[in-house]
Amino acid sequence: MTGTVVSSKMDKTVIVMVERLVKHRLYRKYIRSRARFAAHDEGNVCRAGDKVLITESRPLSKTKRWRVNKVVVKAV
């Protein structure tokens, strides 16, 4: 999944927000759905605003089940 880093204040952990468009079942209008995932960032290279690719992994802690695969676009 591709998302945007919204928080990088923790050590080796970033919060990634993934946005996707979901069609409403009754009205057929597209709704922007957001989900926030805690992802493992081994080298502490991610900063807020970066676009990253995350992949699912084994549980690393109570909330972390994702790993940062690569940084797609660095924030300005």
Per-residue pLDDT tens over the stretch 19-63: 999 999 999 999 999 999 999 999 999 999 999 999 999 999 999
Amino acid at 56: E
Domain residue extents for the chain: 2-73
Residue 12: closest CA among 58, 66, 72 = 66
Q: Assess if CATH 2.40.50.140 describes domain 2-73.
A: yes
Quick one: tokens of 58? Answer: 């084994």
In the predicted model, what is the mean pLDDT of residues 66-76? 95
pLDDT band per the 50, 70, 90 thresholds, residue 76: confident
